Amino acid sequence: MPPRSPLPARHGLGAAWVRTPDHDHGRPRPWSTMGHWLRETSPEGVDVERMLADERFVYDDGSVLLADDAYRPHTFVWFHRDLREEPAVPGEITVLHRDERLVVVDKPPFLSTIPRGRHVMQSVTVRLRDELGLPELTPLHRLDRVTSGVLLLATERRWRGPYQTLFEHRRVRKTYEALAPRRDDLAFPLTVRNHIAKTRGVWQAQVVPDAPVNAVTDIEAARAVGDLAVYRLTPHTGRTHQLRLHLHGLGIPIVGDPLYPEVLDVSVDDFSTPLQLLASTLELVDPVDGRQRRFVSGRSLPIAPPG
């Protein structure tokens, strides 16, 4: 792990880092200079020359990395990423609860939980670090970008471990609601059990027949809404796209889903059709003080387009 960053957060986003390889006695100086190393190893599209000229690379002590510096093995280098212009995601991040250890929010659709890919500034983590003045604020679990509802975050690094352990050991009860087609021929409540696998770079997850069960969801029909119904979903596992795939497998894909049953060509900056999936409640026994905690979303289905 790297040492603490010598650069302050920018817009609520910490600096990125890279590290030169460990000392290789067979090749004591595989690159002649630090600039040589950066030019050869940086991903395509990174304007290393401009960043060097602007003195944007620094060492652990905050001193500027110069292009002609002698190459150093096992050396951390810090910098701030170039960010694309991101359209503001409409919709309010409502703070449901805040104390010394936790911030609990009601996430709108289309806002990423963490900075990732094309969504950096427009993420819950980055926006709230800046708005709340909490530079170490970190999500304790994730919601898909298109999913709305209750999201827990730790205010500081020291609180992450106790709460993340609850999620890892499945001691957090999460309940969702979804709007999907009504099927009177299905007998609810029911439980879906199967094996879900997600291949990196492939949009959809897949059910793998005859593989060991790794995804379990209890499903109840809560109420009818014309030809649709609101379903209450209680996952016992947390596989990628589990709820969306389980309802799709029952022939009742969630309204507004851009991936199931088929992948739709929707721009990442199109906020017109929210996924009708809501993380409605989250319950846990606080690992620090032993209190029973229950957080409830103030949103309800159907979820209107933000704006």
Q: Is the dihedral of CA 132, 133, 134, 139 positive or negative?
A: positive
Q: Active-site residue among 69, 144, 218, 286?
A: 144
Inter-residue contact 140 to 167 (CB < 8 Å): yes
Which residues make beta-bridge pairs with 97?
Answer: 104
Q: H or E element: which one contains 38?
A: helix 34-41
Inter-CA distances, 216 with 60, 190, 196, 302, Å: 46, 11, 10, 25
- In angstroms, the first-to-last Cα distance of the chain is 41
Question: Look-up: residue for tokens 């030809």?
Answer: 227
Query: Up-side HSE of residue 25: CA atoms within 13 Å toward CB?
Result: 0
d(CA 230, CA 264): 23
Copy the structure tokens of residue 11. 């817009």
Give the type of residue at 196: I
Is there a catalytic annotation at residue 144?
yes
Give the type of residue at 35: G
Which residues make beta-bridge pairs with 231?
Answer: 178, 221
Inter-residue contact 175 to 232 (CB < 8 Å): yes
Copy the structure tokens of residue 133. 């003045």
Apex 236 CA angle, 230 and 240, nearest 5: 80
**Best CA proximity match to 254, nearest among 210, 303, 291:** 303
Catalytic residues: 144
